[in-house]
């Protein structure tokens, strides 16, 4: 039976039961009509499938699964093909474990370095988040299982996360916090979207009709199922009406009873309930098409996790000490407990029970040439210093301890533990060749200690195979190719959201507007430790021959800008470069970021090899969101196009002229005289109405430049109250009547 046929046979009570789960991880079954329960499980960087008798809050042990690099690491890979392969592997594991939908990816924007869940998110940039999020969805769904994009929307902190209202203006939502979701919905068609816990501009995301229906379904065309975050529903009836299909975990006996009562009382249109139930039934229908897998190849998935970790590490600094070239007789000192007890994922709902874990120290020992001694010292500072004094090179494993960052709370600072910083200073006194290997999910401050390091390799929380990947990178078996997906500020206080994070009294004001991450640092010319997009390689790349070709027109809705350049590997090793394209609109009439990432690609090049890279932009890539006009707007004029290796390492720049229809203000009594005069046709009408000799000095304010300067920004309706300026109520209402509505778009 189809979903529609089943729907027709359900009682009201049965319908109400279907729009709630039946437990922590299952939708409700309807055995008499052959509807199975559908199992969902957390991701996003590996499966957290709980055993059937799972603990009540669902955080406890789960079945073994491959722990891939977390999103903060995968985000730094800038490699959608890689992320898609990871998605496929997780999809296979889901099929092997009976999971229908994987609860990921998380694509919220990293607004502040302090967000406790930043390790689960890709980037401070919406394009990078959207492209990588879509890749994960495509990988999962390519295996026939569903993905659930989360947390929709503006869930950018953990503080007070179930109640706080993210107070964000619409332009900022449209340009920063929504585009990643829009991209994933449009490009990858996820089966599910999970609403956020928080409120958005006062309304709970679970009950926010503007988000869940107007934007998500009507404007973006989402046709899947909207599920609540676990426990995010406060009023089931309001949530249903707003477009939330499935409540998880189910508030059994309460939510279903409320829905039945609301329909009976005529307070909830039964068609809204039917809509939600149909989507749940459609999900169950999809579930029946999944081909179960006979287990999965844990060794192959571990190898993929290792390759992914290697692709994701960012070489922040290197004075030439890396790659290490140890020879027989050398002593390599390895310092820091993380070398022996690695930290490779974050805590909370995304925590995976790994199939195995690579130990960095063991991996290094196995990878160095015969005769090289790899000696270890943990936190025992004196022992470590004594070892460092004897060693040729020191590899110091540093990072955040598990208690420092997690789902559920935000960080209070972005410093490494003080004992690590102190030990590093002591090590540097006895050995100048110190390589710092970092393991942390969210950004840490480097400016207080980085002068002690000859090289810094940021590995993020890079999954169960991170240890092997670190050995590969340090010894040059792999060439670093990760790039920062977020800016590393000199001080926390420099970060654009600093003064408005995490809010108070139930509200967090997104006061920095669209100036999030590099958009904010660049706008005020603030120095940073390492900029968005930065990352070194063991080889070098040259950029040449930037060309731009414009075809089509904004007015015909077919504008296309093709940007081409050549990238050459000028070093002696094979390597990968992330070519980044930024666009700026320096003459914009609204405040816009100086540059915004609009395209990127990762190219693999052998020594001496060159590749031609082509990017395709459209009108949206040049646009800003106008809240007044309710749409994306391209202002005609000159745009800056820059291609480079980071947001502050722009190698090639050019400009391109684009013409677009002039933007006209809405001409009503509240439009200012200047706005009326800016519109050629309306200006003629105003001049005629105010009068004056043709060709001579106009009457009233129009003939008095001094008055124009002072009162030109008065609305026409207000000018009518001043005698002698040439306007009265009749003149204004005639003008308004003639132009009303016409100039609003
Ligand atoms: C998290 C979600 C997760 C869900 C189920 C919530 O606390 O915010 O990301 O998918 O729990 O574990």
Please list the residues that pair with 624 across neighbouring strands. 633
Average pLDDT over residues 610-635: 96
Which single residue is written with the structure tokens 């060749």? 433
Among 138, 142, 103, 87, residue whose Cα is nearest residue 291: 142
* Span from the CA of 50 to the centroid of ligand 1 (angstroms): 13
Contact residues for 710 (Cβ-Cβ < 8 A; gap 6+)? none
Q: Which two tokens stand for residue 485?
A: 């997906």
- Number of other CB atoms surrounding residue 317 within 10 Å: 21
What is the number of the ligand 1 atom nearest to the C-alpha of 104? 10
State the pLDDT confidence band at 486, using cuts at 50, 70 and 90.
very high
Check if the beta carbon of residue 73 is closer than 8 Å to that of residue 136.
no
Please list the residues that pair with 602 across neighbouring strands. 578
Please report the pLDDT score of residue 689 as a whole number: 87
Confidence check: pLDDT of 277 > 90: yes
Contact residues for 469 (Cβ-Cβ < 8 A; gap 6+)? 306, 307, 309, 310, 313, 358, 459, 462, 478
- Number of other CB atoms surrounding residue 562 within 10 Å: 13
SS (HEC) of 312-366 = HCEEEEECCCCCCCCCCCCEEEEECHHHCCCCCCCCCCCCCCECCCCCHHHHHHH
For the whole prediction, is pTM greater than 0.75? yes
User: What residues flank ligand 1, with Cβ below 6 Å?
Assistant: 42, 58, 103, 150, 229-230, 349
Q: Chain centroid to CA 521: how far?
A: 18
State the pLDDT confidence band at 745, using cuts at 50, 70 and 90.
very low
pLDDT in tens, 113-139: 999 999 999 999 999 999 999 999 999
Average pLDDT over residues 579-593: 97
Q: Chain centroid to CA 642: how far?
A: 22
User: Which residue, by CA, sits nearest to atom 6 of ligand 1?
Assistant: 230
- Which position among 229, 472, 585, 621 bears the catalytic label? 229
Task: State how far the alpha carbon of 250 is from the alpha carbons of 25, 227, 278, 479, in Å.
Answer: 10, 11, 18, 48
User: Which residue, by CA, sits nearest to atom 7 of ligand 1?
Assistant: 230
What is the number of the ligand 1 atom nearest to the C-alpha of 43? 10
pLDDT in tens, 230-244: 999 999 999 999 999
Is 229 catalytic? The answer is: yes
């Amino acid at each position: 039976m189809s979903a529609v046929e089943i729907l027709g046979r359900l009682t009201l009570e049965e319908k109400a039961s279907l729009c709630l789960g039946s437990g922590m991880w299952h939708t409700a079954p309807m055995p008499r009509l052959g509807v199975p329960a559908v199992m969902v499980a957390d991701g996003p960087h590996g499966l957290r499938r709980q055993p059937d008798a799972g603990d009540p809050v669902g955080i406890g042990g789960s079945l073994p699964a491959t722990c891939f690099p977390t999103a903060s690491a995968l985000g730094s890979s800038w490699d959608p093909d890689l992320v898609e392969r990871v998605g496929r592997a997780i999809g296979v594991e889901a099929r092997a474990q009976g999971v229908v939908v994987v609860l990921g990816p998380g694509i919220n924007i990293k607004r502040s370095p302090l967000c406790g869940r930043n390790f689960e998110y890709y980037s401070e940039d919406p394009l990078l988040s959207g492209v990588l999020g879509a890749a994960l969805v495509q990988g999962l769904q390519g295996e026939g299982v569903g993905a659930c994009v989360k947390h929709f929307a503006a869930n950018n902190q953990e503080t007070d996360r179930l109640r706080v209202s993210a107070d964000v203006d619409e332009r900022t939502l449209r340009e920063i916090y929504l585009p990643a979701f829009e991209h994933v919905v449009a490009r990858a068609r996820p089966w599910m979207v999970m609403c956020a816990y928080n409120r958005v501009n006062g309304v709970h995301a679970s009950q926010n009709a503007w988000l869940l229906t107007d934007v998500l379904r009507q404007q973006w065309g989402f046709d899947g199922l909207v599920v609540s975050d676990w426990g995010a529903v406060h009023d089931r009836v309001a949530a249903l009406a707003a477009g939330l299909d499935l409540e998880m975990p189910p508030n059994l006996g309460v939510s279903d009873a409320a829905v039945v009562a609301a329909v009976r009382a005529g307070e909830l249109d039964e068609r809204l309930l039917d809509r939600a139930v149909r989507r749940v039934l459609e999900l169950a229908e999809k579930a029946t098409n999944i081909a179960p897998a006979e287990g999965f190849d844990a060794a192959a998935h571990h190898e993929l996790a290792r390759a992914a970790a290697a692709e994701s590490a960012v070489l922040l600094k290197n004075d030439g000490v890396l790659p290490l070239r140890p020879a027989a007789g050398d002593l390599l000192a390895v310092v820091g407990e993380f070398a022996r007890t690695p930290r490779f994922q974050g805590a909370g709902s995304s925590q995976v029970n790994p199939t195995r874990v690579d130990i960095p120290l063991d991996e290094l020992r196995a990878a160095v040439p015969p005769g090289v001694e790899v000696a270890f010292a943990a936190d025992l500072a004196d022992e470590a210093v004594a070892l460092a004094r004897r060693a040729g090179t020191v590899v110091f494993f540093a990072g955040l301890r598990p208690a420092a960052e997690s789902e559920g709370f935000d960080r209070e600072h972005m410093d490494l533990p003080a004992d690590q910083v102190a030990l590093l200073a002591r090590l540097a006194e006895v050995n100048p060749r110190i390589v710092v290997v970092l393991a942390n999910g969210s950004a840490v401050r480097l400016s207080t200690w980085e002068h002690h390091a000859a090289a810094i390799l940021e590995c993020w929380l890079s999954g169960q195979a991170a240890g092997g990947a670190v050995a590969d990178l340090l010894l040059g078996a792999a060439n670093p190719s990760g790039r920062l997906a977020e800016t590393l500020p000199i001080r926390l206080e420099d970060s654009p959201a600093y003064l408005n994070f995490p809010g108070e009294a139930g509200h967090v004001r997104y006061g920095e507007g669209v100036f999030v991450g590099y958009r904010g640092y660049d706008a005020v010319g603030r120095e940073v430790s390492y900029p968005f997009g930065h990352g070194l390689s063991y080889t070098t790349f040259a950029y040449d021959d930037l060309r731009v070709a414009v075809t089509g027109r904004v007015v015909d809705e077919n504008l296309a800008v093709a940007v081409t350049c050549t990238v050459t590997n000028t070093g002696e090793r094979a390597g990968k470069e992330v070519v980044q394209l930024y666009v700026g609109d320096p003459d914009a009439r609204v405040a816009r970021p100086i540059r915004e990432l609009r395209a990127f690609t990762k190219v693999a090049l052998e020594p001496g090899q060159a590749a031609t890279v082509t990017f395709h932009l459209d009108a949206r890539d040049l646009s800003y969101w106008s809240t007044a006009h309710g749409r994306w707007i391209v202002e005609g004029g000159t745009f800056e196009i820059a291609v480079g290796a980071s947001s502050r390492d722009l190698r090639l720049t050019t400009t391109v002229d684009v013409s677009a229809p002039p933007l006209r203000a809405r001409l009503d009594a509240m439009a200012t005289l200047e706005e009326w005069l800016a519109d050629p046709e309306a200006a003629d009408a105003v001049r005629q109405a105010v009068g004056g000799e043709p060709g001579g000095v106009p009457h009233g304010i129009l003939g008095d430049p001094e008055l124009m300067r002072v009162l030109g920004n008065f609305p026409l309706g207000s000018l009518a109250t001043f005698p002698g300026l040439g306007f009265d109520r009749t003149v204004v209402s005639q003008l308004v009547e003639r132009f009303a509505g016409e100039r609003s778009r």
